[in-house]
Amino acid sequence: MEGLIGCRLCEKFDLVFGTSTGAIIASMIALGMSVDEIHANYKKYIPDIMRLKKPAQKSAKLAELAEEIYGDAKFDEVKTAVGIVTTKWVIERPMIFKGSIEQAHGRKGTFTPGFGVKIGDAVQASCSAFPFFLPKTVTNAAGDEVKLVDGGYCANNPTLYAIADATRALALAHEDLRVVSVGVGVYPSRSSRCSARCIGRNTFRAFSSCRRPSKSTRSQWTNFGRSFSRTYPQSAYPTPSSSRKWPPTCSSTTSASSIFSVSAAETPLPKMSLC
């Protein structure tokens, strides 16, 4: 895509949102890195993180990635509007780190880019998929500590949050939006849904090799697959249309806003209790 448009993605997309591993990619796009740089960084750091077994080890290695790639960079340094999606551990609600005051939904007077948090810390929080990673605690501009976990628990695909920013905060019409969503698109088959019922049990086994979880955590992950099937029945997935073309035809309307959304994975996570 970068080769087709002849410039870096941050120069063409007005909003870049990312969840979990997508937050790593989205943040690097927003900071003005090229696709080659992003690809090189991803190959250099992510395999080393995922090879580790214990949550504490993975979180420590993820913190190293954040420090080496982002350093002390904050959200007022981004080159285009960005949204890094995380989930508040205690109240199970999204906390989205944004760079532009134009993205504020009616709270412009108190808006601080990224809540005053470093980009690296926000990205680490968005990637902290409990129980495989430890929760990440950040300190905002007001000095309050907030415990966060993976943004996939509230929005595995952050596209709707990006559209909400575009239509409500930026006051753009839906017909003027051009959205590119990367990382999703596979429609789960019935067999994959049935297999999902075992996810909770298998996840619990993997976690047990690290340390014994509490009774509530064991129960939570044992029922993970059932929650998936109830939340995402087969009827919820439309049949892909064979008439869809790529690349999509873009309007010549000058007021159109482009959104780049990077998701966490191909299969959406169901909403579930975290504690």
Active site residues: 20, 150
The secondary structure element, H or E, covering residue 29 is helix 21-30
Task: Give the number of other Cβ atoms within 10 Å of residue 225's Cβ.
Answer: 21
Q: Is the N-terminal amide bond of 131 cis, ω within 30° of 0?
A: yes
State the sign of the Cα–Cα–Cα–Cα dihedral 72, 106, 108, 174.
positive
What's the CA dihedral at 111, 163, 175, 232 to 10 degrees? -160
- Beta strand 257-262 pairing with 15-19: parallel
Residue written as token pair 């849904």: 193
160 Cβ neighbours under 8 A, 6+ residues apart: none
State the sign of the Cα–Cα–Cα–Cα dihedral 259, 150, 143, 275.
positive
The secondary structure element, H or E, covering residue 203 is helix 199-208
HEC-encoded secondary structure of 37-98: HHHHHHHHHHHHHHHCCCHHHHHHHHHHHHHHHHCCCEHHHCCCEEEEEEEECCCCCEEEEE
Residue written as token pair 């969503």: 181
Q: What is the DSSP string of 209-241?
A: TT-PPPHHHHHHHHTHHHHHHHHS-GGGSPPPP
